[in-house]
Amino acid sequence: AQKITQTQPGMFVQEKEAVTLDCTYDTSDPSYGLFWYKQPSSGEMIFLIYQGSYDQQNATEGRYSLNFQKARKSANLVISASQLGDSAMYFCAMREGMNTGFQKLVFGTGTRLLVSP
């Protein structure tokens, strides 16, 4: 079964608007972490934001926030005030067994975001 599902292959947004990128996940492990990475055309994966399964508050990092709905197993990324430089692929990832030492990240297939002027 797909562990990370990103159903939006592409999203378009105008500069200065907010955009939500969807991510749903599947795990039976109570201890897991959710990550969002940005991959520009240069190829480097840039870490954006992290949410732990036991975190009570939704994570925020500058213009990025994570809408974490544990019961629905969703971890959507919200980018506020989009900028042209936000155009890139965005990947959602999960690490299970956070307290057992497993390190493998499992990624979704990504969403391509295009920000227009």
**Toward another protein, which CB reaches closer, 31 or 67?**
31
Q: How far apart are the first and last CA of the chain?
A: 39
75 binds another protein (CB under 8 A): no
Q: Which of 93, 96, 113, 115 binds another protein (CB under 8 A)?
A: 93
Cα-based angle 66, 20, 75 (whole degrees, multiple of 5): 35
Q: Which of 82, 110, 113, 115 binds another protein (CB under 8 A)?
A: 110
State the minimum distance, in angstroms, from the CB of residue 109 to another protein.
6
- Partner residues linked to 9 by β-bridges: none
E strand or H helix at 21:
strand 19-21
62 binds another protein (CB under 8 A): no
36 binds another protein (CB under 8 A): no
Residue 17 CB contacts under 8 Å (≥ 6 apart), including other chains: 81, 82
**What is residue 45's DSSP assignment?**
-
Residues that bind another protein (CB under 8 A): 4, 33, 35, 37, 42-47, 50, 52, 91, 93, 95, 98-99, 102-110
